[in-house]
Chain A
């Protein structure tokens, strides 16, 4: 579960954001919407433990993540937070399976070939398991980035604009897939998007206004 309190951030003195407190239990999902430039991505980075807030706290599984030292925060992030970025990026010199192995290794877990096989099968990537990532189609790349985000069974899965480049049909498909997988992996799903098509899919929603 994830809980934030009184989160504030500023890059410089001219612009400052204050973010609403959120509180999500295991298995719940949340849509964070807002216009471009509203600070959505900043909010996501704060939740992901990759951007130190000026004030406030983020606690995941009762751990206040910004009270950890840098090395422990890195480890905590690898173990508990899965992130799907707007544009998928992988380690170019490694193939699909090796990228997932790297995600397991970096989080401090052991490399578990069976887990990788299962998750690739679930995301229909078995056929390309040995392919280099840059040879995959856009859809395959997105599914691989979902697989990578979920490989370590994170407490919370953050997805940044996962549907912005998809048509209506694919959009519903991807959201259904994400929700289904999070249910399966017992992860809390947080989607950050300005895509209004997503609104019907989420009972919990907040809007960021700057």
Chain B
């Protein structure tokens, strides 16, 4: 067997250009399918992870999809703020339908990484934990996600200034944040966030409002200079019912008609908008699904072309080598041996194409991942093999056999005497 593998290999590299073309075509098909499979799988995993079991998002009126993208995936801009007093029932842990809730206050950033003012519940929602240091305890304490720490070289004790809005060039606030903790790597969007108390965000804005002499200002200066308290739970947040937050993420105890009615009620009768992330995301998938379908057909086409190119390459090679095959028969080779040798060449091309395809796919995921993590706050794991690739390898073997079997039959049927007299 090893001997025949060697012969097949030598036959292939004896016509390097044709072999290279065939391998490349096949690798392209396999590479793109594998790439799509990996991205699709990790996208789904990521989406589910980032969904964090949230059943409903309460935010200002606007596009529900935007609310979801902004508050769960941290891609889009917020739709606006809501006053705590209007949503106060949902921050109360005794709400009959709500299992848990977490408020979010968005709008500031540190070098494109979003700053999220929230409560300790946020960590439970994402099953996150502090890896180094401690959780925030005072205003302007911050706990940063794994990627934020890595990309901005932050350690416990580092200081940084936040800026208003989501771009680094916008106005910087005066206050210094202090990093008190760094989160464990999770693979979800939380890796790319800076977490702090709602107070930190309120106070950074409050400093700017000071000159405008808003009525609230004196009151809060006192709080700030005095006890330096922060709200670590939703219940504590209720003390500041005149303040605003961006949204509240809700998990229900049970999903039933009551919770459906609740969402409808909020939307129909209040200034708040309730968005169901599962519904919004399904709508988004449906829209993007067409593109994915087209890509799948394209991949199928590429694989077919790869198969046909193996077929053509082998038929051409056998034509060039028919005298060789006849001579091998004369030297004692059986028809079956020649057929198997031809099939082996086809499978060898497929194997090389498959390996190269995997390399292309995983390098592609790596490149795409480094782009996506900046642009969409997504992290992709590039160097893990997935089980779908095992299935792909079987598919490739089938392609190899199908495109090799007809040339193999023609090799099997070599008529020695006729071939030799035709020289």
A positions within 8 Å CB-CB of B: 41, 45, 48, 50-51, 70-71, 74-75, 77-79, 83, 85-87, 89-94, 98, 102-103, 105-108, 148
Q: Are B331 and A94 in contact (CB under 8 A)?
A: no
Q: Which residues of B are found within 8 Å of A75, using beta-carbon distances?
A: 332, 334
Contact mask for chain B residues 300-337; partner A; CB cutoff 8 A; 1 contact, 0 none: 00000000000000000000010110011111111111
Give the distance in Å from the alpha carbon of A78 to the alpha carbon of B327 in the complex.
11
Q: Are A85 and B328 in contact (CB under 8 A)?
A: no
Q: Are B330 and A93 in contact (CB under 8 A)?
A: no
Q: Are A89 and B332 in contact (CB under 8 A)?
A: no
Q: Are A106 and B333 in contact (CB under 8 A)?
A: yes
Does B257 sit within 8 A of A, measured CB to CB?
A: no
Which residue of chain A lies nearest to B335 when distances are taken between CB atoms in the complex?
A70
Q: Which residues of A are found within 8 Å of B417, using beta-carbon distances?
A: 45, 50-51
Main secondary structure of the interface of B (DSSP, over half): helix
The B408-423 residues at the A interface (CB cut-off 8 A) are: 416-417, 420-421, 423
Q: Are A85 and B420 in contact (CB under 8 A)?
A: yes
Does B41 sit within 8 A of A, measured CB to CB?
A: no
Does B14 sit within 8 A of A, measured CB to CB?
A: yes
Question: Which of B11, B336, B420 touches A93 (beta carbons < 8 Å)?
Answer: B11
Does B10 sit within 8 A of A, measured CB to CB?
A: yes
A-B contact pairs, 18 of them (CB 8 A): A45-B416, A48-B330, A50-B417, A71-B336, A74-B332, A74-B333, A75-B334, A78-B331, A78-B333, A83-B330, A85-B423, A89-B423, A91-B7, A91-B328, A98-B10, A103-B331, A106-B331, A148-B331
Give the distance in Å from the alpha carbon of A148 to the alpha carbon of B328 in the complex.
11
Give the distance in Å from the alpha carbon of A83 to the alpha carbon of B321 in the complex.
19
Q: Which residues of A are found within 8 Å of B337, using beta-carbon distances?
A: 106
Give the distance in Å from the alpha carbon of A108 to the alpha carbon of B423 in the complex.
27
Does B385 sit within 8 A of A, measured CB to CB?
A: no
Most buried by B among A79, A92, A148: A92
Excluding A50-B416, A74-B329, A85-B423, 10 further A-B contacts by CB distance (< 8 Å) are A50-B330, A70-B334, A74-B335, A78-B331, A78-B332, A85-B327, A87-B423, A93-B10, A105-B3, A107-B332
Q: Which residues of A are found within 8 Å of B327, using beta-carbon distances?
A: 85, 89-91
Q: Which residues of B are found within 8 Å of A78, using beta-carbon distances?
A: 331-333
CB distance from B230 to the nearest CB of A (A): 76
Q: Which residues of A are found within 8 Å of B323, using beta-carbon distances?
A: 89
Q: Which residues of A are found within 8 Å of B423, using beta-carbon distances?
A: 85-87, 89
Q: Are A41 and B334 in contact (CB under 8 A)?
A: no
CB distance from A66 to the nearest CB of B (A): 13
Give the distance in Å from the alpha carbon of A103 to the alpha carbon of B332 in the complex.
8
Q: Which residues of B are found within 8 Å of A79, using beta-carbon distances?
A: 332
Give the distance in Å from the alpha carbon of A45 to the alpha carbon of B327 in the complex.
13
Does B367 sit within 8 A of A, measured CB to CB?
A: no
Q: Which residues of B are found within 8 Å of A93, using beta-carbon distances?
A: 7, 10-11, 13-14
Q: Are B7 and A74 in contact (CB under 8 A)?
A: no
CB distance from B17 to the nearest CB of A (A): 14
Which residue of chain B lies nearest to A77 when distances are taken between CB atoms in the complex?
B332
B positions within 8 Å CB-CB of A: 3, 7, 10-11, 13-14, 321, 323-324, 327-337, 416-417, 420-421, 423
CB distance from A198 to the nearest CB of B (A): 21
CB distance from A153 to the nearest CB of B (A): 13
CB distance from A110 to the nearest CB of B (A): 11
CB distance from B387 to the nearest CB of A (A): 37
Give the distance in Å from the alpha carbon of A44 to the alpha carbon of B329 in the complex.
16
CB distance from A83 to the nearest CB of B (A): 6
Q: Are B335 and A50 in contact (CB under 8 A)?
A: no
Q: Known contacts being A71-B334, A74-B334, A93-B14, is A45 close to B328, with CB within 8 Å?
A: no
Q: Known contacts being A50-B416, A50-B417, A93-B13, is A102 close to B330, with CB within 8 Å?
A: no
Give the distance in Å from the alpha carbon of A79 to the alpha carbon of B10 in the complex.
25
Question: Which of A45, A87, A107 touches B331 (beta carbons < 8 Å)?
Answer: A107
CB distance from A138 to the nearest CB of B (A): 16
Which 8 residue pairs are nearest across A and B when measured between Cβ atoms?
A78-B332, A93-B14, A51-B417, A93-B10, A107-B332, A50-B416, A106-B332, A106-B331
Give the distance in Å from the alpha carbon of A103 to the alpha carbon of B7 in the complex.
13
CB distance from A71 to the nearest CB of B (A): 5
Give the distance in Å from the alpha carbon of A98 to the alpha carbon of B334 in the complex.
19
Q: Which residues of B are found within 8 Å of A86, using beta-carbon distances?
A: 423
Question: Which of B321, B329, B331, B421 touches A102 (beta carbons < 8 Å)?
Answer: B331
Give the distance in Å from the alpha carbon of A45 to the alpha carbon of B324 in the complex.
17
Give the distance in Å from the alpha carbon of A98 to the alpha carbon of B3 in the complex.
11
Give the distance in Å from the alpha carbon of A90 to the alpha carbon of B421 in the complex.
16
Which residue of chain B lies nearest to A94 when distances are taken between CB atoms in the complex?
B10
Which residue of chain B lies nearest to A109 when distances are taken between CB atoms in the complex?
B332
Question: Which of A50, A70, A102 touches B328 (beta carbons < 8 Å)?
Answer: A102
Give the distance in Å from the alpha carbon of A85 to the alpha carbon of B324 in the complex.
12
Q: Are B324 and A91 in contact (CB under 8 A)?
A: yes
Q: Which residues of A are found within 8 Å of B332, using beta-carbon distances?
A: 74-75, 77-79, 106-108
Give the distance in Å from the alpha carbon of A106 to the alpha carbon of B325 in the complex.
12
Q: Which residues of A are found within 8 Å of B324, using beta-carbon distances?
A: 89-92
Q: Are B7 and A41 in contact (CB under 8 A)?
A: no
Which residue of chain B lies nearest to A91 when distances are taken between CB atoms in the complex?
B324
Q: Known contacts being A50-B329, A85-B420, A87-B423, is A94 close to B334, with CB within 8 Å?
A: no
Most buried by A among B10, B323, B330, B417: B330
Give the distance in Å from the alpha carbon of A86 to the alpha carbon of B323 in the complex.
13
CB distance from B167 to the nearest CB of A (A): 61
